[in-house]
Chain A
Amino acid sequence: MPLLVLALAACATGGEPPPRPHERAFPDGFRPPLSQATGRPVYGWGGARRQPEAAENASPSRTPVLFIHGNTEDATFWDAARRSFREAGWNDDELWAPSYGWASTARFDANDATAVTLDAFVDEVQRYLGGKSGRPIRQFDIVAHSLGVTAVRQWLTQSNRWHQVRSFVAVAGANHGVWTARPDARGPSRTSSFELYRGSPWLAQLNAGGETVGAMRTMTLYDGTGRYDTLFPAEDADSPALAGAVNIAFNREARGWAGGHDHRELASAPATLAVIADFLRAGPEPLPNAAPPTIVRDGDQLHAAPAEARLHCAGDGRDPDRQTPPQATVTLPPGQWLSCYAHSPASGLSSPLARHAAAAGRGSNAALQLNADPAGGPFPQPVTVTLRASDPAALIVYSITGRQPDSGSARYRGPLYLPSPVALTAVAITPDGRRSAPLRLRYDIGLEVDEALHSLQRQLDPTAAADDRGDRPDGD
């Protein structure tokens, strides 16, 4: 009888493959990347799984939205958002949600590993939708919750893809720390704790260049009362707010019975989803086939191309945001790196972030060297890495996403705090444009490393290999 039922079901759908369970899958032709945390393919939902029946469902007609969940959650966290956005007019190809991690308190997710996964996931969504629609997908909107917020910000910082995010909604993210994270964490899921404790060096690095960067529109949405979201009590009530963003302390500002949303409801309640959808809808849609503007350097002067595009530049170690005043041309000051992006109001697109410094009076053929101390290796606890370029005037940039860093990548501003296993790639760039060879180092950070180093076998035979593979969470 079950076979008969299956056969009848196949007839009923005209021979098309039946929908996958509960619509929780990616479409055929989408190649999910491997999760940096689990080592398994990212799962989740997104995209139209069957051939569109209506033209408006054919491919993205507006900027696709990526929903990035928080710790211990997975893509199902966004089921309510998916329903809400569908009802508000978004089609399936415009809505995506990856499950990037463990979805369990048994193994907490961490920002650095998530940033790597997000980078690969966004690449794949771009490839898939670009192929399907026949035009490049230049921008996304991102709605992130909790750990997803800081993970997205870390991904943007490390990959210099600010220009690819039109609008970013950061719901209840620990942008300035969370009381549940501690610097002396010892449990197996300690990494996110090292990243997100109040005053952590990791957060300092994340926020150093500015809390909102590039032309990206940013809105934060959080409790603000210190009561309803248990992660942000009164003393941390505004931790999720970001300088330069539209900050909405939703429960604090709500009147009557409109507030009272807890940590999860802030990203899943109809009232907050409506605010999020309104914010995304208000973003100007980029021209579909336009190319992003570029920054043109002419000696020590910068301008944007095309001519109607404008430069937004910031100095003093800061990165420009959308409030940074536009300029037609910029003269590079001596001895200072300017961080700039070009933005075209006509197309709505921006260039990647780039850093430039005046090269006047400089010039050398000496090979530029970049060194790290320590130069990779196993460490039982978070490690602080010092990078030094042979030219002190050189800019040092780095990335943990596996990408080759460019001048707009994460800037080295001082000893680098690495709380989790990362593959670090760094380069030094001089004001006259010389680049060092990429420095690629792996920092294998985890208590398991220490345990393996001090195993009974190694005490009996110090020459024995320290093998911690069996003890490490997959993907670490």
Chain B
Amino acid sequence: MIRRLAVAGLLLAAPAQAAIVFTPHVSEYAVLPRGTYLDTTAVHSSIDRIWDADGHKVPLGNTAIAPGESISATLLLGRYLWIGNLFEDSGLPFFDDRNQVLRVIATAGRQSASGAINELSREFGQTSRGSGFGDLFLLAGVYGRQYHHGPLHGNGLYTLTVKAPVGSFQRDSLLNPGTRYWSVMPQLSHHQDWFGRLSIDATAALQINSAASETAYGGLTPSKPASVVNLEATFAWKFSPQWFAEAGLSHYRSLGSNRYDEVSLNIANQPVPPSTACNTLLVPAAQCNLARLFYLAPVAGEYRDRGIRNSIATAGFSYVYRSAAVASVRAALPVAGRGSQFTLPYHVCLSAPCTADNELPGLRQTARLSGVQEAAAISASPYFELRLVLLLFAP
């Protein structure tokens, strides 16, 4: 059963939302005309593999559930963008002669797990429901000065994003669209255009996370998510005014460890029969025969992983329709990663409540658990993205 506890953590929530928010598209950071824009992005992934803490791709559930089980995650981002100059007549240096951007990003997710994963969650008294509105991202920034040297044009964009944890969140859910921690994300971005054909959009963002006010899925979401650095670059080639092809690289990694100090994941139906205990806990036969039933309980404490990281290659194309809309299709393939895992000891007892006071001496067992949801779990499965940008009110 400990093995089943261990593999429970090898499940996942939605693709990491914040990382997707930062993944640039063609000319994402270029200076755009003043006005308002609406941008919607749908991301879909069928996740059947994740990265473990050693950087290996492992199937969901490992051997505890049959191969072929997966989590279907669809994330919808709606982005409203305003570009203008609030300080045009203020005389305020730096701001008065360059446009500012304000962006609101609302998210929604629909996530579902296949049968065996649901069964597994039920064994721990947890659920695999996970649909609803996600967190809200609010971004403000200012363009850097534009420069131009022959065929090279460029500009910077300096922004600060705040993520408000207002999304749907259930404490017993494996798949939550929202989180329960705030994030502040300073971001330096840059756009370059070469020869009117090649555009490069790159960004570096630091996501500073607060402590989580709540954790989910038996405490397998970090109670103190580590801060994360995002590095992304997209290269796009313009074939015509309508058609663009793009390829990009994205890398994000935590700075330090995620901390887990509310872990309570446990088997729901206790006591555990000895046959199960002996087989799955690898309890020695002599001890196994001591009793007919066993109780398990996680040892309270503070646990840390070795951090997370993910590297993704992206490729896609964009089509500009009637100058008022852009449709983009993009595939993202994780190429390297590391998920959040930590080792958790369990008390083994003959009676409930199972605590250090009544545990069987020498029988304390450990399980290697994986963190879940966006701050901890790293998908190793590709995802697909459909993006539509609308220039509101345009012809």
Contacts and interface: CB of A to CB of B under 8 A. Distances in A.
Interface of A: 20-22, 24, 71-73, 76, 79, 103-108, 179-182, 185-190, 192-193, 225, 227-228, 230, 233, 256-262, 265, 269
29 contacts: A21-B90, A21-B91, A22-B88, A22-B96, A24-B89, A76-B85, A76-B88, A104-B34, A104-B35, A104-B36, A104-B84, A105-B393, A108-B393, A179-B241, A180-B323, A182-B395, A185-B322, A189-B393, A227-B196, A228-B151, A233-B240, A257-B149, A258-B150, A259-B151, A262-B153, A262-B196, A265-B146, A265-B148, A265-B153
Nearest to A180: B323
A233 B324 contact: no
Given A179-B241, A182-B322, A192 B392 contact: no
Nearest to B197: A227
B90 A188 contact: no
A107 B393 contact: yes
Among A24, A76, A260, A261, the most chain B Cβ lie within 10 Å of the Cβ of A260
Nearest to B153: A262
Contacts of A105: 33-37, 391-394
B97 interface: yes
Interface string B200-220: 000000000000000000000
Nearest to A234: B240
Contacts of A262: 148, 153, 193, 196
Nearest to B149: A257
Interface string B25-54: 000000001111100000000000000000
Given A79-B97, A107-B393, A269-B148, A227 B195 contact: yes
Contacts of B84: 104
B148 A261 contact: yes
A260 B196 contact: yes
Contacts of A103: 34
Contact of A260 (B35, B91, B153): B153
Among A73, A180, A182, A269, the most chain B Cβ lie within 10 Å of the Cβ of A180
Interface in B372-395: 391-395
Interface string B60-100: 00000000000000000000000011001111000011000
A260 B148 contact: yes
A97 B393 CA distance: 26
Nearest to A76: B88
A261 B34 CA distance: 20
Given A187-B324, A230-B241, A193 B97 contact: no
Interface string B305-340: 000000000000000001110000000000000000
Contacts of B395: 108, 180-182, 185-187, 189-190, 192-193
Nearest to B27: A230
Interface of B: 33-37, 84-85, 88-91, 96-97, 146, 148-153, 193, 195-197, 240-241, 322-324, 391-395
A188 B91 CA distance: 34
A228 B91 contact: no
Determine the main DSSP class of A at the interface with B: loop
Among B37, B84, B153, B323, the most chain A Cβ lie within 10 Å of the Cβ of B323
A259 B150 contact: yes
A181 B324 CA distance: 10
A72 B153 contact: no
Nearest to A20: B89
Nearest to B323: A180
B152 A260 contact: yes
Nearest to B392: A106
A256 B152 CA distance: 12
Among B148, B150, B151, B395, the most chain A Cβ lie within 10 Å of the Cβ of B395
Contacts of A193: 395
Among B33, B149, B195, the most chain A Cβ lie within 10 Å of the Cβ of B33
A233 B151 CA distance: 16
Report the 8 A-B pairs with minimum CB-CB distance, sorted nearest first. Answer: A105-B35, A257-B150, A227-B196, A185-B395, A180-B323, A193-B395, A72-B33, A21-B89
Contacts of B153: 260, 262, 265
Contacts of A20: 89
Given A21-B90, A24-B88, A189 B196 contact: no
A108 B394 contact: yes
Contacts of A72: 33-35
Contacts of B391: 105
Contacts of A230: 196, 241
B394 A189 contact: yes
B321 to A, nearest CB: 11
Given A106-B35, A187-B395, A265-B148, A233 B88 contact: no
Contacts of A179: 241, 323
Contacts of B88: 22, 24, 76
